[in-house]
Amino acid sequence: MSKTFEKKLVLKWFSILSLICLSFFPFMQALLGFWWALPLNVRFRPSANPIYVFLCIIIFVSIVYFWKKDLLSSLSSSKFLIFSFLSAFIFHICLASTDKGFYYAITHPFIATPYEYYADLPKVRFYGLKEFVGNYATLMKTLSLHAHTHPPGGDVFLYLVEKIFGRGLLRSSLITVIVSELSIIPLYYTIKLFLNKKAVRLAIIIWIFTPAIGIYNAVCMDGVFMFFMLFPFYFILYPYKKKKKYTLCG
């Protein structure tokens, strides 16, 4: 990939992401009245914690510097994935923490009852996992807001986290963020099927700073859903790309 093409690609993606922010979010605010959808209002408002804002800027500038100096190209795939995972984890935690600090930002979305999945855990314990899943359609009206419109995956995931690692709000929240950031692994190998090494790594860096990923990975269950949903894409596309006969296994 030539440097000229690389600059054009970065500029193109920057323009696309800027256009998304400048069109979609004001549209949500002006026409639909979703005041919380405006990124500047959610994160970098005047009341934002300046320490976390500073950390976000430092992380962003550092990664751009590493990329410009071509320091990421020399890393092996495993080292690059570790670097990307840690960068995404720290950046998304810091970005979320600009809103009233770390503990509030990370744990509050899980206890914002009656909206979030965490509020359903007492019912999962009461009925037992097998009965809860088996009667989920019947129980939906008694569950949290998001469980009204989603399959039981969110409740089941948090219940299993609790069973394996023990009860604890902060523990459950951080494990959720970790699993969300692990989406980098299936994403990396899926993109690798179609692009060269440098383009794949650029795509991962862009993914880390994509608005929807940055805003939601640390504060909701969507990142967990993304982690599990990316694997079928890889297992479908891999045999197709490699001319194998196992596409249906995806």
Q: Which residue has the higher pLDDT, 115 or 156?
A: 156
DSSP class per residue in 129-194:
HHHHHHTHHHHGGGS-TGGGTS-THHHHHHHHHHHHH-S-HHHHHHHHHHHHHTTHHHHHHHHHTT
User: pTM of this prediction?
Assistant: 0.77
Residue 215 lies in a domain: yes
Same domain, 104 and 186: yes
Q: Which of 18-22, 43-47, 143-147 has the highest mean pLDDT?
A: 143-147
Query: Is 222 part of any domain?
Result: yes
Residues 199 and 240 in one domain: yes
User: Does 182 score more than 80 pLDDT?
Assistant: yes
Query: Domain check: are 62 and 100 in the same one?
Result: yes
Give the HSE-up count for residue 244: Cα atoms under 13 Å, Cβ half-sphere.
12
- For residue 114, whether the previous peptide bond is cis, meaning omega lies within 30 degrees of 0, is yes
pLDDT value of residue 37: 45
Assess whether pLDDT exceeds 80 at residue 141. yes
CB 161 within 8 A of CB 176: yes
pLDDT value of position 14: 62
Domain with 30 in it: 1-41
Task: Give mean pLDDT, residues 79-105.
Answer: 90
User: Do both 180 and 240 map to the same domain?
Assistant: yes
Burial class (CB in 10 A: 0-12, 13-18, 19+), 142: exposed
Q: Does 182 lie in the same domain as 101?
A: yes
Rounded to the nearest integer, the mean pLDDT of the chain is: 81
Whether residue 140 is contained in a domain is answered as no
Number of domains in the chain: 2
Q: Torsion over CA of 95, 51, 36 and 25, rounded to 10 degrees?
A: -60
Model pLDDT for residues 39-85, shown as the tens digit of each residue = 444 444 555 678 888 898 899 999 989 988 889 988 999 999 999 99
Most confident listed range (29-43, 56-70, 107-121, 233-247): 56-70
Residue 161 forms part of a structural domain = no
In this predicted structure, the answer to whether residue 3 has a pLDDT above a threshold of 70 is: no
User: Residue 205 — pLDDT band, cuts 50, 70, 90?
Assistant: very high
Cβ neighbour number for residue 169 with a 10 Å cutoff: 14
Contact 63, 55 (CB under 8 A): no
Place of tokens 């320490």: 51
| pLDDT score, position 44 | 47
The verdict on 6 and 55 lying in the same domain is no
Q: Are residues 4 and 14 in the same domain?
A: yes
> Is 125 within a domain?
no
Inside any domain, residue 128: no
Burial, 60: exposed, middle or buried (Cβ in 10 Å; 0-12, 13-18, 19+)?
A: middle
Domain for residue 199, yes or no?
Answer: yes
Provide the pLDDT confidence category of residue 19 given band limits of 50, 70 and 90.
Answer: low
29 & 95 share domain: no
Which pLDDT score, from 0 to 100, does residue 1 have? 54
Residues 30 and 66 in one domain: no
Reference 132, options 155, 116, 158, 163; nearest CA is 155
Least confident range from 13-17, 90-94, 172-176: namely: 13-17
Do residues 26 and 65 share a domain?
A: no
Q: Indicate if 104 and 206 belong to the same structural domain.
A: yes
Average pLDDT over residues 98-104: 81
